[in-house]
Amino acid sequence: MYELSRHLRHFNRYVSLTGNQQPLLATFNGCNLLAKRTTFILKRKYPVKLLKYGETEFRLKGKDYVYDLVQDTEVVKKPSVKIVLKQYIEGVGLKGDVVNLPRNKAYNEFLLTGLADYATPEVLEASKKLKKEENKQATASSPFAQLTTKYLENFVLSIVMNKENPWTIQPWHIRVAFRKAGIQVPEHAIKIPDKPISGPDLSLENRDFVTTITVNGREKANVRCRIHHWSTNPSNRMPYVRYPGSIKTEPIFEADAPILDNIPLIPLPKEKSDF
């Protein structure tokens, strides 16, 4: 379209020089020229020669119209938008928090729905009051606290204990089991059952008990823990069980049964079909 309009303009100049008072663009109605806000930053590939002494102009050559593209503003990543949250949003922020989000997400999910405002000086001043209200109400300790508790409550923690040597479940056993699963949990945030669990005892194999994890000293998550006996002697190990976290088993303590019934198991993966 740009090339067509350029040729038409040159043709209009030619027509006006030949005496025709009606340029072609004025009579050509089949062409729709639409404005588009695009900017291309270019640089000449070959430098234009300088004027000699006494010259006022010279004719440009073909190579003088060759350009290299420096930047296309249409493909430049747009900066993020700073907004102020008007309420607690899980995984994003607390009430009154100032967050940076991608433009489309901030506009479609937060600004249009009234969950946030642009971070103008007036709104930033008002956000200080919102933060004070949030501290009094104490909705959540952090934007990701509830996400963390949900993740832990949907997790089946395997407690691997020795099959030959005697043991009693302690908080550090839970901490080590979490570390093996890629989760760092301090011992002071772990609460094990009051009744001791000792072994080795094969009647406890693949049976569950509940451990309470405290997140940021406020939110609590009940985690399903499952005992598994392990031996260094391969011939003395327990039989292999496929997808143990998806199998419902009996609790060690009957008092934990209502809590374990509300904790979901890991769903079975979909089997691949041959067709």
Contacts of 199 (CB under 8 A, 6+ apart): 161, 166, 167, 168, 227, 229
Instruction: List the pLDDT tens digit at each of the 275 positions of the chain.
Output: 445 445 445 545 544 444 445 554 555 555 566 666 778 889 999 998 888 888 888 888 899 899 999 988 888 888 899 999 988 888 888 888 899 999 999 999 999 999 999 999 998 888 887 777 666 566 678 888 888 999 999 889 999 999 999 999 999 999 999 999 999 999 999 999 999 999 899 999 999 999 999 998 888 999 999 999 999 888 888 888 888 888 888 999 999 899 998 888 888 777 766 55
Domains defined for the chain, CATH in brackets:
2-72 (no CATH), 81-139 (3.40.5.10), 146-262 (3.10.430.100)
Helices (H), 49-165: 103-105, 121-137, 145-153
Are 216 and 141 within 8 A, CB to CB? yes
Residue 14: the pLDDT is 47
Residue 273: the pLDDT is 60
Are 153 and 223 within 8 A, CB to CB? yes
Task: State the Cα–Cα distance between residues 257 and 272, nearest whole angstrom.
Answer: 34
pTM of the model: 0.65
Residue 6: the pLDDT is 52
Rg (alpha carbons) of the chain, rounded to whole number: 35
